[in-house]
Structure formats: C-alpha cells, structure tokens
Amino acid sequence: MGHSGIYKLIESGRRAAYYTHWGAASPFSIFSRLQWALDLKEGEHADKSLIDIMSHMGDDGEYHFDLSDYIPMFELLSDRERRNHERDFESNGYLEMRVTLNMDTDTAFLEHNPRYSHYKYVGNYYIPISQGLDNLNAVRQYAERAGIEDVREIAAVFHRHTGMDEVYARANRLWEDEDENRDWRDTTSAEFRRSSTEPENDMER
C-alpha cells in the first residue's frame, strides 16, 4: 500500500501538478522526494527544470527518459486530471495529502486530508522549503553517523527532530476520542525546530 496524494510545483513562474502513489506519507517523504529531484538537477541533469525532472523520476530516485520499465514516482497531470484529483481530495479520503511546493517563494504548503481517518486532526502547515531540506539533511547525516539505515527509523528521527511526532501523536489521540477537544484544530504554520549539525540528544540511540 502506498501513500497517495497530489503535488503542485511552481518553478520560475511555471506550474505543474502530479499524482503520486508513494510520496505523500509525511513531511519526511515529501522533502526526501524533493531532495531526490534537486540532487538530479545539481548533477547530470542541470539543464533540466524540476518540473521535467519530477515528470521523469522513477521510484528508484533516478531520471528516466522512458519510464515504461519503471514505476514513476510522480505522474504528470493534465489540467482536467488535476481538477478531478482536487475534487477527490475535497470529497473523500483516498488522497492522503495535497502538497504545494513553491520554489519561487521557498514555501511548502502541506495539507493533510481530514477525510483520511489518521489525518483528521493533523491540520495544514506552511514550511520554508529550505528549512525542511536543512532538517532532512541534518537528520540524514546523524543517521549515517549512528549507523541507522532503515528508512522508517530515519523518518522517525526526522519527525522527532522537527516536532512532527508530537503533532501526529496529538492527532491520533483526538482521533481515538473524538468527543474531546473537537475545536483545537486550526490551519496554522508549522513551527519546525531549526536544524542543527546534530539532532537533539534525546534522539541518541
């Protein structure tokens, strides 16, 4: 089972929308996929836009001119397909997240679908893209030094480092008992903790 969602990318005034079956589980998965694309652009595909790179990126994180032999990480949507997915997001819980990555303003807007049961009380967050990537790379460096290789463990460290573990834990508690604190959820900006060269000591294994 994947984690499906909609990605909307704004780059140099251009806009594109994608469906993903695998890249919409959490801020960790979102910034990880974006870092994959940026790594490709900073490497042998410097002549290509992020819009083009994400349109040709496989689930292996590599750029493929022909994706017929690979599982695409992102599927480029036509305007009609995007509108249909937007309606689905607004009406049911099939799509877990809607993500807008505005590279021109360094802003990521992460929308957790409240119709998806586990995200009912999570809320929506504006996060500076540069800050999210700084946090991601700080955690990856820590994981490498600590010998952590399992992606789920690295994701857990990321969410502790950024405070998202507390957000998800609180949402789960509210989901389990919907009769209490129904009005707490507001659309707000996530207060990601600033990245540092070393994640907090409470992450030490």
Contact 89, 113 (CB under 8 A): yes
Separation of alpha carbons 37 and 51, rounded Å: 9
Task: Please identify every stretch of the chain with a pLDDT value under 50, giving residue numbers as ranges.
Answer: 1, 179, 184-190, 194-198, 200-205
Q: What's the pLDDT score for residue 176?
A: 81
Q: Which neighbouring-strand residues pair with 126? A: 109
Note every long-range contact of 159-163, with CB atoms under 8 Å and residues 24 or more positions apart, other chains counting.
Answer: 159/26, 159/27, 159/28, 160/199, 160/200, 160/202, 160/203, 161/135, 161/193, 161/195, 161/199, 161/200, 161/203, 162/27, 162/135, 162/190, 162/192, 162/193, 163/190, 163/191, 163/192, 163/193
CA distance 205 to 195: 19
Distance separating alpha carbons of residues 49 and 45, to the nearest angstrom: 8
Q: Kindly report the backbone phi and psi dihedral angles of residue 2, in degrees, each rounded to the nearest multiple of 5, phi listed first.
A: -95, -165
The predicted pLDDT at position 117 comes to 83
What integer pLDDT is reported at residue 27 of this predicted model? 93
- pLDDT tens, residue by residue, 18-61: 999 987 889 999 999 999 999 999 999 999 999 999 999 998 99
Distance CA 198, CA 75 (A): 36
C-beta of residue 52 within 8 angstroms of C-beta of residue 90: no
CB 171 within 8 A of CB 122: yes
Determine the pLDDT at residue 67: 85
DSSP E strand boundaries for the chain: 5-11, 14-20, 75-76, 97-102, 107-112, 124-128
CA angle 105, 142, 171 (to 5 degrees): 60
One-letter identity of residue 50: L
Nearest to 173 by CA among 163, 188, 162, 184: 184
The predicted pLDDT at position 1 comes to 45
Residue listed under structure tokens 């021109």: 104
